[in-house]
Amino acid sequence: MTSDGMAPARRGPFRASPFPPPGPLRTLSLATLANTVGMGLWTAGAALYLTRDVGLSPASVGVGLTAAGMVGLTASVPLGGLADRRDPRRLRALLQVCQAVVAAAYLLVGSFPVFLAVAVADALLTSGNLAVRAALVAAVGGPRGRVHAFATLRAVANLGIALGAALAGFALAADTHLAYQLLVVGNVTSYLLSAALLLRLPACPPAPRAPAVPTDPEAPREPAAARPRRARALRDGRFLAVSGASAVLTLHLTVLTLVVPLWAVDRVGAPPPVVAAVLLTNTVLTVLLAVRLSRGADRAAPAARKLRRAGLVLAAAMPLYALTAGLPTGPAVALLLVATAVYTVGDLWHGSAGAGLAYDLAPPAAIGAYQGADGLLAGLARAVGPALLTLLLLDGGVPGWLALGALFAGVGLAAPALTRWALANRAPAPDDQPVEEGAAA
């Protein structure tokens, strides 16, 4: 049992279904499914709703979402820190009710200022809720099961987003005011259903605070590293170095969702449905393999080695994508799918390794705040990714793909050394393993 009374997630044989056996993780998975079906609805339909139904220009929507996203990142650490002091289950349920209210406010949008206000509120809640979610996953999974829980929820989330996007297709096909309103209402409903499911979880009391510093000047003091403070997350340079390396690898998300679709259609000459096939390949493999490929990333040392593998595999996928530009359509499409399969393995290793490092390098009483700092860096990478990678890859062509592959490989190879440096600043747990230079990649 974990310190909060919850049983850690069990790792059984390979399961085609992403849903775990009955228990707290199953409940959390169902809440995630409800939430991400709504996410899929909104992600697929938001741009058309805001432009075709509300009447905003595409440029104003893009500027508004970018500005809101940058402001939203500021909520990550404060709300993550709040999850360290409060029950993250109740806090996340409350945030999702607030998100339902904000999602409903999109029905009132009729001008750019109103849209910007709603988008900023939405981004603040979304960013903060991700840090709270990470604290809740840690509470449900426990120290030895939280990465498994993270991977399980990632598989479920991919399934939910795919279902939501498919349902959004009906609203987009109808292309009427009522259809778009129903799409918004569906997103609102998903938040409320997810919040109700979260409240079915057992209570998750916060981790004990660090002991107070003795007031007696003659009394022995604990080392600074033994007194974790939640406010220290953004000042912990060693943690931020490791998290920053993981954030650089996060650029690969923009590669799949933005660059590869444009590359496939404009440079390879593939028909547009191929883009759907590429994304479906990634989704199916994620649902099937996320849990399996997460194994062995519970502690920082093995997670660092897994991050090294992730960087090298992602690096290998980049030239495969580049080679598709010089092939006939049939072989190019086949290579696109192969490259996506290789990419997905690296993507899944990166996800589980990044989670394992962010969890294990954080002080136990400051999981939420440190997850917020980790999310902040990843969010910054996602923010700069579209402009940076479209210039590097679409304008730079094959040399750009090779340069990005070299960056991923370099970051992956540096991960174990950065992790050793971070581990040297804290007292090792009994089962910590040293990160060895010669460990197999």
Task: Please write the tens of the pLDDT for every residue from 33-92.
Answer: 999 999 988 988 888 889 888 998 888 888 888 888 889 898 888 988 888 888 899 999
Asked if 45 and 194 touch (Cβ cutoff 8 Å), the reply is no
Rounded-to-integer distance, Cα 304 and Cα 357, Å: 7
Tens of pLDDT, residues 109-129:
999 999 999 999 999 999 889
Calculate the CA 414 to chain-centre distance: 22
**Average pLDDT for 318-344:** 94
pLDDT tops 60 at residue 400:
yes
Any idea which of 151-155, 171-175, 402-406 has the lowest mean pLDDT? 171-175
Q: Quote the pLDDT of residue 347.
A: 96
| Domains of the chain from N-terminus onward | 24-198 (1.20.1250.20), 235-423 (1.20.1250.20)
Q: How far is CA 116 from CA 63, 65, 112, in A?
A: 9, 8, 6
Predicted confidence band of residue 348 (pLDDT cuts 50, 70, 90): very high
Q: Which residue has the higher pLDDT, 426 or 441?
A: 426
pLDDT tops 90 at residue 418:
yes
pLDDT tops 90 at residue 193:
yes
Task: Give pTM, 2 decimals.
Answer: 0.80
Predicted confidence band of residue 17 (pLDDT cuts 50, 70, 90): low
Please name which of 173, 193, 198 lies closest in space to residue 39, comparing C-alpha atoms.
193
Asked if 72 and 130 touch (Cβ cutoff 8 Å), the reply is no
Mean per-residue pLDDT over the chain, rounded: 85
Pull the structure tokens for residue 420. 């050793």
**Average pLDDT for 303-325:** 96
DSSP 309-378: HHHHHHHHHHHHHHHGGGS-HHHHHHHHHHHHHHHHHHHHHHHHHHHHHHHHTS-GGGHHHHHHHHHHHH
Rounded-to-integer distance, Cα 122 and Cα 42, Å: 12
Tens of pLDDT, residues 372-387:
899 899 999 988 888 8
Q: How far is CA 411 from CA 243, 245, 248, 441, in A?
A: 11, 6, 8, 14
Residues in the chain: 441
Pull the structure tokens for residue 187. 């997103």
Q: Quote the pLDDT of residue 209.
A: 56
Q: Quote the pLDDT of residue 124.
A: 94
Rounded-to-integer distance, Cα 229 and Cα 235, Å: 10
Asked if 50 and 104 touch (Cβ cutoff 8 Å), the reply is no
Q: How far is CA 259 from CA 77, 279, 286, in A?
A: 30, 12, 19
Asked if 148 and 294 touch (Cβ cutoff 8 Å), the reply is yes
Q: Quote the pLDDT of residue 393.
A: 92
